[in-house]
Structure 1
Amino acid sequence: MLAALLLVSGCEPAQQRVAARQDPAAGAQRENAAQVTVSADAESDLSLNWRPPLTQLAKADLPQARRDAEQAMKQGRLFEEADSAIPLYLSMLAIAPDDARAGRSLERAVRAVLAQGRQAVAEAGDQAAALRRAVAIAAVIRTMAPRVQDLAQPASDYLASVDLAEQLWQLNAVGEDQLRQGQLGEGGTGALSSFRQALQLQPDQPRAMQGLAAVESALIRRAEQAARETDYPSADRWLRLAAGVREPVGTLDDARDRVARIRDAQVAALRDAGIRDLQTPQGLREARDKLAEVLRIAAPGDAVAADFRRRVDLVTHYGLFRPGQVFTDALESGGRGPAMVVVPHGAYRMGAGEDELGATEAEKPAHYVRFERGFAVSRTQVTVGQFRRFIQATGYLARATRRGHSIVYDERSGNFVRRNGADWQSTYSGAPAGDDMPVIHVSVRDADEYAKWLGAQTGRGYRLLSEAEFEYAVRAGRRGRYPWGDSGRPPEAAGNLTGGNDVSPSGRTWNNAFVGYGDGYWGPAPTGRFPPNPWGLRDMGSNVSEWVADCWHSNYRRAPADGAAWYNPGCRARVVRGGSWATSPIQTRAAWRSSNDSDMTSARVGFRVARTL
C-alpha cells in the first residue's frame, strides 16, 4: 500500500485522486526537488526509493556546505531540495567519506525526518497534505535507514504506520464519497461498511468515528423526512438502523424526540384543522377524513387523537365541546370572557301544567321543546366587573345612565322607588357596587349590546338566552314547580331567595316568603356564592331575575319547538325569567315568566349570556 499515493500516470490510486482534489497543489514539484520512483521490482513488493537531489561539491566547498546544512537543519528543511540538510550531508560524504562529523549530522537529520514523518502520520487522518508528506518521508526513511544505527525497528514501525494511515485514508475517503452519494450501507455495504473496516484497522480512529456519526445523522435525517411525509413505519425503520450504527451517545433519544414532536405537530395540526371544519355547516365529513388520517399516524394511546375522536363523535350535539364542560373564550382586547358551561342537548316539557298551583295562562300550554344541539350558558349572571369592561372598551351609555335614574330598594319605606344617579354601577339600594356583584339596573337592550360586544371580541355567537333555554337550564333535567322540585320549602343553600328568615339592615322581613328559609342576604349576593345546580350553573333561578331574548307573547300557542327565541322585530314588551332576592315564592317557580318594557331597569333584574356551540 505504501506506493499507492505515489504511482504515476494511469496507475494513480483513488486515495491520491481524492487528495489531489482536496489539495490543488498536489503533485506540483519544485525545481531540483527530490524524486520518488518505483524500483524495478515494484510489481512484486511496491518498494519505494528516494533519489536525493545531490549537489556537486569540491573540497573547498565543504565548510560552506556544512554551514548551509546546519542552517537547513535549524529551519527544518531536511530532504526536499538540493540545499536541504540530508542532500547536503550526502554530497559532503560523497567527496569526504570519512567525515565523521558529517556522518553524525546525517544520522541526526534522518532521525529528524523520522520525527517529521511521525508528526505527519498523526495528522494524516483528515489532512491529505499530511498523508502525502508521510508517504514521501517513508521513501526517504526506506532509503536512509540502513545508514543510521539502531533505526531499523523505528523505521519499520514508521513504514507500517504509513501503510496503515494510507489504508485508513482510502477507506474513509471511499466511505465519505459513498455518504455523499447516499449509499449509507443500510443493506450491509456502503459508507457504514467502509468506516467499520477502518475502525477494525484502528479502533476509535477519529475520522472513521466521525464517519459513523455522519451515517447516523443521515439515517436520522431520513427518519425525520419520512416523519414529515407521515410515513412513520419508515421513520421507525430508519431510527432502528441509526440505533445500530454506534454506541448510544444521546443523539438517538433526541432524534426520537424530534420525530415524536413532528408527529405530535401533525396530529395537532390535523386536529386543529378538523376542529375548524367542525365549525362549518358541512365540515363534519372533512373532519372525519382528518380523523382517519390522525388515527393512521398517531402513536397508540395518543391523547390528542383520542380527544379529536371524542370531539367528532360529539360534534353533532356539542360542536367542539362536551356536556358539563366549563370554558372561557379569549377576548381580542386581552383577557377572557365569562366562564361558560356546556348544557346537554335533549328535550323537556316547557311551561306549567294545567293544575299547577299559582300558574297563569301565560305559562301555558305546556309543550315539548327539543334541543338538537347543546349550547353554553354563562356559569353565573354577568357581573358588574364584566359589564364595566364592556363599557370602558366601547364607551357605551347604558339606559339608566342616559336616563339618570333607576328603580332601587328603599330601606326606610321598604318599597322599590325611583332614585336619581342609580345605574349599572349601583347596588340594589343605589350604593356603589363591587365588581363581583351581578349587574342590575340594565335594560334588555343593554344586555343585548353586551352580548354583541362579547361576540365581536371572541368571534363566537354570544347572545341572550331564549326563554326555552332559560327554563331548560333552570330545571336542569328535573320536573316540578320549582327549580329544585315540587317542595314549597327550598333545600338548604338553594340560592338567594326571599326567605322568611332573611332580615334587612334595619330589621325588616318579607311578608311573602319561603317560610323557615334564610340565605343570609338581603339584596343580591355576589355571584357564585351558592352551590351549582345539576348542570353546573350557579344562581340559576335565584339572586336576580334575568332578561331573555324573547318578545312577550301571552301564551305558548305556536311557540317554537326547537328552543329558539320567539322574537318579533320591533317589539317593546320583553320577557323576564327566574326568581330573585325579592320575588315571591310563586314568582320563583320554574315556569314563571313576566312581561316588561324593554327600557325597564330595576334592582331585581340582571342577565346572563348564552353561546352557540
Structure 2
Amino acid sequence: MAHHRRVTAPRTFMTPPRTRSLPLLAFACALALAACDGKRADQAATPDSERNPLVTITGEEAVVVPAWQPPPVMIATGEEPAVLAEAKQALEEDRLFGGPRDAVPLLLELSARAPDDADVKRTHARAIALLIAQGDAALGRMDADPNGLVHAHEVGEVGRTAAPEDPSMREYLSRIDRADQSVQLDHRGERELQSGRLGEAPGDRGALDYFREALERRPGDARAAQGIAAVESALIRRAEERAAQNDFDGAEQWLKFADRVRPTMTTAEDARARIATQRRASVDAMRDKGMAVLMRENGLPEARRTLSDMLRIAPPGDPAAAELRTRIDQVAHYGLFRPGQVFTDALRSGARGPQMVVVPHGGFSMGAREGENDASSSERPLHYVRFDRGFAMARTETTVGEFRRFVQATNYKPRAVRRGHSTVYDERSGTLARRSGVDWRHDYVGQLATDAMPVLHVSARDAEAYAHWLSQQTGERYALPSEAQFEYAERAGSQGSLAWSSPIPPRFAGNVTGMGDRSPTGRRWRNAFIGYADGYWGPAPAGIYPGNAFGLHDLSGNVSEWVADCWHDGYRRAPADGQAWVNPGCRQRVIRGGSWVSAPAQVRSAWRLSTDGDTTNARLGFRLVREL
C-alpha cells in the first residue's frame, strides 16, 4: 500500500483534480486530526513503512506527495565496486532517485552493506548535496512552476529516508516548512484582502501583515509581493474614491497609509500626482464655471457662491481661486466684455481701429481627426487646447483701407514695395506669376484695389509692423493670431474636417473654389467643391459673406492668412494653452485658412502650410487679435 504526504500548492497554479491536503503538520495538529496523532510525521514514532500523515484543510488546494520508499536493489556479493561506479555514473547523469538503478537507492543499499566504506560515504554525501540542490532549485521556481513546491517535497521525502540525521538535509526540510507556511499565509492574506481587511494602520491585523509574514518565511515570495502591491492598489483606490467626491483631505489620509506599504516604490506618489491633477481639474472647472457665470447678466452672486465652493477643495493660495476672486472684483467694480461683442478701439489720431469680435474662452481638439481625408502628418497629433481667457479677433481680414492708414501714418515701406514685385494671378495662363511694380495697393491681378478689399502682397513682418503700430495707437496689445486661436475661431464649435457640417459648402459659406465659378475668360477650377459657386473668381470684398457662430467672416476662404507661429512639422510638445509657438529668429512661418484659389483639401479647418516669412502673393493676407 502506498503512503503519501500532502502538500499545499499555490492557488494560482493548475493542479490535477486529485485529493487536496496541507503539508504543514503544525496546522494539521491544530485541527486535531487522527492522522496526526499529536506528532510530526518525520518523528521516529512509527517506522517509515507506516508514515502516512494525511491531513486536509477544507477550501485550500493541496497535492498528494507519496512517502518515498526505496525501491528494492539487488546486488550480488562482490559486485559492490561495480555498483558504486554505477551510482557515480548516475550522479553524473543527474539520476538521483527515480528508479532502482539511480544513485540514492544504490547508495542506500551500499551504505547498508559497507557502512564504514569511505568512498561510499563520500559518494553518498555528494548525492545528498545534489539532492538538496535539486530541491532548492525547485523551491526557487515555485512561483513560476506549478509543480515546483511539489517536487521540493518529493526531494524532501527522499531526504527523510536517505539522510534523516544530515544537518544540511534538516535545514532543507526547514526551508520546505517555511515555504509551506508562506503559501498558507498567502492564502490568508488573499482572504483578508478580498474581505477588505487590509491592515493598513499599525496594529490592524489584516492582509498586509499576512503577506509581509509570508515574505519573512520565504524571501522572494512573488505571490506575497503581488499581494502587498494589491493592498497598496486597494488603498489608492479608496483615495481615488474620496477624491471623486471632492474629499481631497480624506484622499490624502488613504494615500498616507499607502505610502507605508511599499515606501521604496513611487506608486503612491504617482497616485498622489494623479489626484492632484484631478483636484487641479476640479478647481479649474469651478474657475471656468465662475468665469462663465460672470459673463451673464446678474451673474455675480452665483459666481461668488462658486468661489466659495471652490475654496473648500482648492489648496491654500491656489492661483485659479485667486484668479476667479480677481475677476469677481473686476466685474463688481468695472464690468467685462461679453462674448460676441463687437467693438473698436480709439486711435490717438481720433480714428477708430478695426472692428473686433470677442471670442469666448473654452477648449477644443486641435488638428486633423482620425481618418480625415487629405490630412498630413504636420496636422497631428490631435491635441486638446484650452483658452482660459477669451480674446478679440478682427471681424474680417485687414483691408486695404486699414493698411493704407498705417502706411501713411508711419511711412512704412512694406516688403513688396522695397522688393519691387509680388506674385499675381495671370488670367492668360491660369497660374500665379511674378509681376514687377505690385505691392499692398494692388489686387490679385495687379490692378489697384479698393479700400474694402482684403490687403494682399504683404509679408508676415509687414503684418506684425501693422500690429505694433495699432498697439501703440490704442494702448492695447494687438498681434497676429496663434495657430490655435485661428483654428479655434475658424471651427467656432464645429468638430468635422470643415467649418460646416456638409461636404458641400452651404449657400454663401464664403469665397472658396466651386465648380460653378468662372474666370473673366471662362476658366473653371479643376479641383473645387462640386455644386458650389460664390460669384467671385478672385478675392471678394472683406465681410460680404455671412459670419460663423462667433461672428467672424472669411476664416475658411477669401484669402489665406498669416499667423504668429513658426513652422513645426507637427504638434508634439505644442503649447496647450493656445499661445503662439515661436522660435526666436525663425524664417519659416505658418499660413492658415483657405483662399479663393484653394483646393477643397486646403479649406479644411486643420490645414496649415509652411512658407518663408517674406513671402508676398495674391492669395495671402492677415487679420489681428487683441488681448482682453
Using structure 1 for the length normalisation, give the TM-score: 0.49
Q: Quick check: which one's helix share is greater?
A: 1
